[in-house]
Amino acid sequence: KIKIIKINSEKNTENVGTLMVIQDITKMKMLENMRSEFVANVSHELKTPLTSIKGFAETLKDVEDENIRKKFLDIINIEAERLTRLINDILTLSELENKEYALNFEKLNVIEILEEIKYIMKPLAESKNIEIYLEKECEDIYVHGDRDKFKQMLINLLDNAIKYTNEGGKVKIILEKSTNEVIISVIDNGIGIPKEHLPRLFERFYRVDKARSRSLGGTGLGLAIVKHVVNLMQGKIDVESKVGEGTTFKITLPM
């Protein structure tokens, strides 16, 4: 953006010079574009289940067959659940992005939380005959973070590991520590991710296989939330994957 200002003399009679102000607004413009792209994506994502709910609810009025009615009601229920998940994820993201939002930072016992998450995710894993292993190299590891958001981050990673792994697969959580860092790896032997997708994986609504993610109930926001939480905890996240062999997400956090 360029602004030209004419400078007059004190008596305002003669022009004594011109001032040119050049302001780089690339970043501002980029943020503005990102915001409007996000709003467009959100609207689209919200509309899809809503359209489906509306369509099935309307048709339901004219359906007499009890089995078909039940099928339609199931679809309405599944779509309503997707809508709820989507809204919850959008709210979590906006909380994480809002600097005014009071995150509750405290000392967190990593092993205790990992055991809890493993327990929470057990029914989902069992429904696919997947075993979750927790390998800890050490006891009493603490990090500094918001308990709910830290748990949400681990749930998202485990949920993905289970979702994108075939029946009978394995999911492993490994906890390691170095002098001043904690490393949490979530490893699966699932479908894997093609290399060209890895750089964009943490973007909002980015999915490798849209249809697969949708059919598994994904919102496309899970990893964006994970990335935000890791950043807030001043850590980093790396991903390694091989198609057909599996994926590893590795989080490094300051102790």
Residues that bind ligand ADP (CB under 6 A): 156, 160-161, 164, 188, 190-191, 193, 201, 206-209, 213, 218-224, 247
Can you point out the beta strands (E) in 131-200? 131-136, 142-146, 170-177, 181-188
Nearer to ligand ADP, 150 or 164 (CB): 164
Distance from C-alpha of 36 to C-alpha of 123, rounded to nearest angstrom:
38
Nearer to ligand ADP, 108 or 221 (CB): 221
Cβ atoms 183, 159 nearer than 8 A: no
Q: Which residues contact 191 (CB under 8 A, 6 or more apart)?
A: 164, 165, 166, 243, 244
Question: Shortest approach of ligand ADP to residue 72 CB, angstroms?
Answer: 25
Nearer to ligand ADP, 96 or 201 (CB): 201
DSSP string computed for 15-68? EEEEEEEE---HHHHHHHHHHHHHHHHHHHHHHHHHHHHHHHHHHHTT---HHH
Question: Shortest approach of ligand ADP to residue 6 CB, angstroms?
Answer: 52
Question: Shortest approach of ligand ADP to residue 93 CB, angstroms?
Answer: 11
Distance from C-alpha of 235 to C-alpha of 6, rounded to nearest angstrom:
49
Distance from C-alpha of 130 to C-alpha of 8, rounded to nearest angstrom:
77
Nearer to ligand ADP, 7 or 211 (CB): 211
Nearer to ligand ADP, 160 or 185 (CB): 160
Q: Rounded to 5 degrees, what are φ and ψ at 179? A: -55, -50
Question: Shortest approach of ligand ADP to residue 175 CB, angstroms?
Answer: 18
Question: Shortest approach of ligand ADP to residue 26 CB, angstroms?
Answer: 27
